[in-house]
Amino acid sequence: MINTWTDSALTRTVVVEREMAHSPEKIWRALTEGKLIEEWLMTNDFLPVVGHRFTFRAAPVPGWSGIIESEVLVVEPHVRLVYSWGSMGVGSVVTWTLTPTESGTHLRMEQSGFGPDQEANYKGAKYGWNKFIGNLERIVGGLES
């Protein structure tokens, strides 16, 4: 078999940050109360409890169920919120960081990983994403040469 896919480190990261003229406490509510989350992100059954498993649901589109499987990983009220974000067999981690500023809050979102999640590993090649994204960067890196 040609089967040489390697478990290369997965380092894709998306960072979005913004200064907001609102207190960390208020932003925290919008990040952690299900009804408020739904208004800006997606419908959900989120609870700010470490270990709580929940789903985000968006309208399905062809090729995507619209379901994101998540688990709460870190809850530090008004400071930091971390949950996993698994979809299409690709797992990642979303980290929210709130830092008070003179005029409000510096809000930072980092989504990192984009590696194969456990569900996809379990399902094997069903989604076909296993190890793929991890290799993408290396292959694309080879484009330069």
Partner 1 sequence: MQVETDHVFKALADPTRRAIYEGLTRDGEQTVHALTRRAGISQPAVSKHLVVLKRAKLVRHRHEGRETHYSASPQALAPLVDWMSVYGAFWRDRFDRLENLLDRMEQ
Q: Given the rule CB under 8 A, which residues bind partner 1?
A: 1-5, 12, 14, 16, 18, 20, 22-23, 26-27, 29-30, 36, 39-41, 107, 109, 111, 114, 125, 127-130, 132-133, 135-136, 139-140, 142-143
Distance in Å, CB of 134 to partner 1, minimum:
12
Give the Cβ contact number of residue 3 at 10 Å.
Answer: 4
Cα 80 to Cα 59: distance, rounded to the nearest angstrom: 28
Residue 99: strand pairing partners: 106
Distance in Å, CB of 106 to partner 1, minimum:
12
| Residue closer to partner 1 (CB basis): 20 or 73 | 20
Cα 123 to Cα 56: distance, rounded to the nearest angstrom: 21
Distance in Å, CB of 75 to partner 1, minimum:
18
In the three-class reduction of DSSP (H, G, I as helix; E, B as strand; rest coil), residue 81 is classed as strand
Residue 66: strand pairing partners: none
